[in-house]
Amino acid sequence: MLAGKTFFFIGAGNICESMVKGLLSTGIVRPGEIWVTNRSNTERLNFLRNYYGVVPVTDKKSAAGQADVIILAMKPQDVFTALEELKGAVNPEQLVISVLAGIPTGLIEEGLAEKVAVVRAMPNTSCAVLESATGLTPGRYTTPEQLELARSIFSMVGEVVVLEDESLLDAVTGLSGSGPAYVYYMVEAMEKAGEAAGIPREQARPLVLKTLMGAARMLMETGEKPETLRRQVTSPNGTTMAGINELEKANFQQTIRRAILKATHRSQELGQYLQKTANA
């Protein structure tokens, strides 16, 4: 299904590079099958060409007309300019994948003017190491085969969940799209705490990273609930309980919940604002 397909990334930033790195590392997609473009930064395109061997593109319309899969990977606010540049170039046989936070498939379908297959996807930067958690939802004109193609693309770089209800993609964005940043933030905090307790940074880091990795593998491989695994670590009146008590005092779970709901809301807000702009 994927062999020989060409991928055109419009937007050559962080998520593009994570996907490119992951796709190439599978060996299924070859560098010459990945085309990239951005707004104006040729230095960035040259870096991607030199480092990954991918193909920089300047004539967006012509590349968009030829690629099998077009991946919209600019900031949500830049979507109108990008769609304007693509108008009329994409046909219903092709697949457009948007990874843009908040942007409904309808807005992209309207912008492209033809009855084009659009899949909204929300991966995360862990694509680079084939560990993305990606949510997908089909647009109005997406055939089951085209949805399958999108699923197989993101399955190469991690786990995929297909959601029927497009509005849930905002929650996926708040949860797993932004999710790696929450984890990195916690790692930063744990490293700093390790240092505060006297462990040099270069020794704190491997301890924290292996703890993170080990806990993730325990969750995946034992299939136990997180609560169960937490209890196994927590001896009555022991050290973990002392630590968890502090987290509870600071409403840790509520704070995480608020963070994810805020991020979800921000995704909804971006979509609504840009939809209003489109209708104006």
Ligand X SMILES: O=C(O)[C@@H]1CCC=N1
Distance CA 94, CA 226 (A): 42
Pairing of strands 132-138, 69-72: unpaired
Of these partners, ligand NAI, ligand X, none, which one is at the site of residue 13 (CB under 5 to 8 Å by kind)? ligand NAI
Q: Is 21 annotated as a binding residue?
A: no
Name which position in 86, 101, 107, 118 contacts ligand X (CB under 6 A): 101
Please identify which residue in the block is written with the tokens 């020989």: 4
Of these partners, ligand NAI, ligand X, none, which one is at the site of residue 179 (CB under 5 to 8 Å by kind)? none
The yes or no reply on residue 178 touching ligand X (CB under 6 A) is yes
- Contact predicate 149/1, CB 8 Å: yes
Nearer to ligand NAI, 38 or 146 (CB): 38
Sign of CA dihedral 251, 256, 259, 261: negative
Nearer to ligand X, 123 or 139 (CB): 123
Nearer to ligand X, 134 or 173 (CB): 173
Sign of CA dihedral 88, 91, 94, 98: positive
Of these partners, ligand X, ligand NAI, none, which one is at the site of residue 82 (CB under 5 to 8 Å by kind)? ligand NAI
Nearest to 23 by CA among 43, 37, 9: 9
Binding site for ligand NAI (CB under 6 A): 10-16, 37-39, 41, 73-76, 78, 81-82, 85, 99-101, 122-125, 177
The yes or no reply on residue 173 touching ligand X (CB under 6 A) is yes
Phi then psi dihedrals of residue 80, to 5 deg: -65, -45
